[in-house]
Amino acid sequence: MNQFYTAESVTEGHPDKLCDLIADSVLDECLSHDALSRVACEVMATRGQIIVAGEITSLYEPSIPSIVRSVLRKVGYNPARFAIQCLIHKQSPDIAAGVDCSLEQRRNVDGSSPSLQLGAGDQGIMVGYACSETPQMLPLPVVLAHRLTSALTIARKSGAIQGLRPDGKAQVTVEYDEDGKPFRLDTVVLSAQHSPEIPADELCFELTDKVIAPALQVLPPDEDTKILINPAGRFVLGGPEADTGLTGRKLMVDSFGVFAPHGGGAFSGKDATKVDRSGAYMARYIAKNLVAAGLCERCQVTLAYAIGAAQPVMVEVDTFKTGTVCADDCLADAVKLVFGLTPAEIIAKLDLLSPRYTGTAAYGHFGRPEFPWERTDQAKILRAAVI
């Protein structure tokens, strides 16, 4: 029996994504001056107001209002229309102590090891996912949804379509055959904020020709595909003026959509000692290497941590019965053998002290080759460890 799977994406001008972008821009500004900065930045955007709150401990004091205004300009909003509030204080000394000196080190459990000196910045469950159905090793609906919103933003910023405004979102439903392979495009939803002067039929034609058609070349619409452009009708009022935005409210857009569970912790605005982010990146890195090694066709890796402890309290691999060599528990043992899973090891392996996070905030944190957690450089080592 055929099944249908849906994924969504939003543009950088969507109010929630705008908040993620501001939070990660604050993080990058801190890291560019002090690589050991501790940042937990939350943002709320509503009509005429941007509120930035959280904890920052750094040798550098960022000018948050300047960062916010710069992001607003780049995205396409007028900074003069927003009042900016900053509610920032330093990281809790209790949390800082648990991160700086891990539980293992305090108990002298091989405390001389540098990898055990840094404890996790919070408890949490992190999930990574990969599959073989696209070159990005992501589900096809996820890839197509991000392509649509990326193409929409490019069309706006390049001037290819006149009258577009920053807010927008997309949703793609793909029909999978009985073998679990994507074979046809069922539904495409594209909502694009626009100027009131552009006629609806002209906007529909332009979006179909310059956004939908090029973005969906890998699986083009057929005569039965439902294409819904601005299905709510007029979309002139958008962004924070129409809808309040919050950091971390687009968790499934950031990760794998309906294809994998989410541990609940957001990514944006957090430095790498927060395993909500670094652990999720490592879980994706492991899952992708397992698939790249030919050990399975799709894979979910789950890591769990306790605040202040260095080693994960759980490492689980689920191949959904697609494993080709051995049982899933054997793969989990290989993962623990090949990959360093303490926060210090993750940070070092994935180069997570570099100011790269602004680029992750929109259009998904995964499936993009510029990020270190998308490498497949451990595939051969993993396969050798299993064999």
Binding site per annotation, positions: 14, 16, 42, 55, 91, 167-169, 234-235, 243, 249-250, 266, 270, 274
Question: What's the rounded Cα separation, in Å, for the pair 138 and 132?
Answer: 7
179 close to 258: Cβ distance less than 8 angstroms: no
> In terms of Cα–Cα distance, which of 73, 68, 62 is closest to 29?
62
The answer for residues whose C-beta is within 8 angstroms of residue 158's C-beta and 6 or more apart is none
Q: Which residues fall in the annotated binding site for ATP?
A: 14, 167-169, 234-235, 243, 249-250, 266, 270
Q: Which residues fall in the annotated binding site for K(+)?
A: 42
38 close to 57: Cβ distance less than 8 angstroms: yes
Bridge partners of residue 126, in order along the sequence: 303
Task: Supply the DSSP string of 118-163, one letter for each residue.
Answer: S--SS-EEEEEEEESSSTTSS-HHHHHHHHHHHHHHHHHHHTSSTT
Q: Which residues fall in the annotated binding site for Mg(2+)?
A: 16
Determine the residue type at 277: R
The answer for residues whose C-beta is within 8 angstroms of residue 126's C-beta and 6 or more apart is 263, 265, 275, 276, 279, 280, 282, 283, 302, 303, 304, 305
Q: Which residues fall in the annotated binding site for L-methionine?
A: 55, 91, 243, 274
Distances (CA, A) of 138 to 37, 255, 260, 288, 335: 32, 10, 11, 9, 20
C-alpha distance across the termini of the chain, in Å: 35
